[in-house]
Amino acid sequence: MNSSEFQKKVFLLLLIVVSIAFGWIVWPFFGAVFWGTVLAIMFAPLYRRLLAVTRGRQNLAALATLVLCLFIVILPLTFITASLVQEGISFYQKLQSGELHFIANLQQVINALPRWMVDLLDRFEFGNISALQEKLSVSVMEGSKFIATQAFTVGQNTFEFIVSFGIMLYLLFFLLRDGSTLSGRIRQAIPLCMEHKRYLFSKFITVLRATVKGNIAVAAVQGLLGGVIFWILGIQGPLFWGVLMAFLSLLPAIGAALIWAPVAIYFLVTGDIWSGVILIAFGLFVIGLIDNILRPILVGKDTQMPDYVVLISTLGGIALFGLNGFIIGPVIAAMFIAAWDLFSSSKETDSELKS
């Protein structure tokens, strides 16, 4: 091995080590870096338009885009979160005071069940209301103690959230302003031919935008419709349940039904047949159709991935990366498919050249 090859290997090793070390340092703020990058990619077209309006003033265009991003995305989410917390506290207080009559309603449900199902509940000690009430009381007391002991932790997490939020906004400004230059340098550093790099970068941007826009649009519509029908039927906490349905609708096909289906069954069992039938019909033919129609159009069409791949990659991404996984999962799946498409096409080209 000559000195030139040795120096290249040493330099490659140094490159790997410093890259891992940098990733290790940045990892505590992964969420801030991730969402700053996602928002920069999503709002890059708007930045380019504002750059033309401001006659090439990059700082002004980036600042204007950042302000619009705050008003369009971040402030509405903050308002919804604050309202959700307030409604959750109100719901908890009503449950504590007995205003919701949870035990009485549960007894009514058990009385309406067939005998074989009641016997099954008794076998698992769920049919004894007195014992169940005692268990619930103990659980509530333990939950209250847990909430009290976690108060200081919540304060620390709030401080960490503010720091991460500031880092995200700071990073978003510079990614908007210098994003094209940074992406150009990344493309130049990747050891692939220019055609392959263009294809992979184009696929990455397309899938990311389609996943974010499609999933968020479906989640927002399903959550809104679910909250509205809960409000019409007089169910306590429609905003809370609507937001919960919106989060769960990130799971294709099954998400929102995890909320409205049990409520519909409760209506049917307790004798409120019309409310149960209306909720089932609305859930199947309105909320469900939103997922079946909008998601393939907004997500599957641009990503050019089968629905089952989108479902599996979304579930796997959420399992590994939490809420961020609904973006990371489909993007990784799309890049996997794109990379293997390039590999197979390059093998075919090589075989044709040899023949």
Half-sphere exposure of 223 (CA within 13 A, CB side): 22
Q: How far is CA 138 from the centre of its chain?
A: 33
115 band by pLDDT with thresholds 50, 70 and 90: low
> Is the confidence at residue 100, as pLDDT, over 60?
no
Q: How far apart are the first and last CA of the chain?
A: 35
3-state secondary structure (DSSP) of residue 305: coil
pTM of the complete model? 0.68
pLDDT at 206 over 60: yes
Q: What is the model's pLDDT at position 150?
A: 45
Quickly list DSSP for 72-127.
Answer: IIIHHHHHHHHHHHHHHHHHHHHHHHTTT-HHHHHHHHHHHS-HHHHHHHHHTT-S
Cα 332 to Cα 317: distance, rounded to the nearest angstrom: 9
More confident residue, 261 or 145: 261
Compute the average pLDDT of residues 23-38: 87
Mean pLDDT of the chain: 75
Please tell me the predicted confidence (pLDDT) of residue 230.
87
- Is it the case that residue 101 has pLDDT exceeding 60? no
Long-range residue pairs from 59-66, CB within 8 A, at least 24 positions apart, any chain: 59/177, 61/176, 61/177, 62/173, 62/174, 62/176, 62/177, 63/173, 65/176, 66/169, 66/172, 66/173, 66/176
Q: Are 287 and 203 in contact (CB under 8 A)?
A: no
For 294, the 3-state DSSP assignment is helix
125: left (phi over 0), alpha (psi -120 to 50) or beta: left
Q: Tell me the average pLDDT across 137-154.
A: 48
Residue 101, both tokens: 């009559």
Q: Which of the residue ranges 8-22, 70-84, 112-126 has the most confident prediction, judged by mean pLDDT?
A: 8-22
Whole-angstrom Cα distance, residue 256 to residue 244?
8
Mean pLDDT is lowest, of 46-50, 89-93, 171-175, 326-330, for: 89-93
Read off the pLDDT band of 32 (50, 70, 90).
Answer: confident
Let me know: does 173 contact 58? Beta carbons within 8 Å: no
Say what the pLDDT of residue 342 is: 81
Q: Is the pLDDT of residue 134 over 70?
A: no
CA 181 to chain centre: 29
Residue (of 166, 208, 191) closest to 74 by Cα position: 166
Which stretch, 120-134, 140-154, 303-317, has highest mean pLDDT?
Answer: 303-317
Give the percent of the chain with pLDDT over 90: 1
Q: How far is CA 183 from CA 176, 189, 198, 202, 210, in A?
A: 11, 10, 11, 12, 19
Confidence label for 325 from pLDDT (cuts 50, 70 and 90): confident
How far apart CA 229 and CA 276 sit, in angstroms, is 11
What's the confidence (pLDDT) of residue 95? 57
- Kindly report which listed range (264-268, 306-310, 328-332) carries the lowest average pLDDT score: 306-310
The pLDDT assigned to 246 comes to 82
Q: b vs e for 282-299, b when ≥16 Cβ sit within 10 Å of the residue's Cβ?
A: bbeeebbebbeebbeebb
- Distance CA(206)–CA(318), nearest Å, equals 20
CA 304 – CA 297 distance, rounded (Å):
10
pLDDT band at 146 (very low <50, low <70, confident <90, very high): very low
Question: Which of 128-132, 228-232, 337-341 is least confident?
Answer: 128-132
- The pLDDT of residue 182 is above 80: yes
